[in-house]
Amino acid sequence: MPDFPVNVRAKDYVTERGFTARSLRLYVTVQIGSVNPPSFVDTGAPFSFASFSVARQIRWQLLGSTFVALGRPSPIDWQSIPCDLGETTITLHDPTTASQSRPVRLIGKFARARHSVLPNSVVLGMNFVTDNSIDFVLHGVPGSASGVLSVP
């Protein structure tokens, strides 16, 4: 089972009271067709997400534009941006060894409009991990973390 590194990027913020708060994002290197968008794993995201600019550059299959839960339809969106649910394949890459994964399934929300939040990006939600039976290992230490995605 090949491992693909999770690159942890930290950003520090300081409150008006002088408290320093550190945020962490878990980046991975991916390729979708010929596109290599900045991509990160979001453990709080139930679905993956492809920004409008990424969605326009890649091939993907439409799976629907409305969710129906308890008999009630609701539009698919991401942070108030209208989306379609779609599917494509991606490969994970290890930039240090140049190895790549087999093509893996990416089902997610594909933005239908531009937005200022995470342009040109892909968010890998928890469905990405479960849809592909990926082992996701994260080791936390004060102020940072390290991890891998292991693709069967």
List, for residues 51-64, the tens digit of each pLDDT value: 999 999 999 999 99
**Residues 134/151, Cβ–Cβ less than 8 Å:** yes
Look at residue 1 and tell me whether its pLDDT is greater than 90. Answer: no
pLDDT in tens, 105-142: 999 999 999 998 889 999 999 999 999 999 999 999 89
- In the chain, domain spans: 3-150
**Residues 126/43, Cβ–Cβ less than 8 Å:** yes
Beta bridge partners of 34: none
What pTM was computed for the model? Answer: 0.92
Q: CATH number for the 3-150 domain, one of 2.40.70.10, 3.30.70.1450, 3.40.50.720, 3.40.50.1820?
A: 2.40.70.10
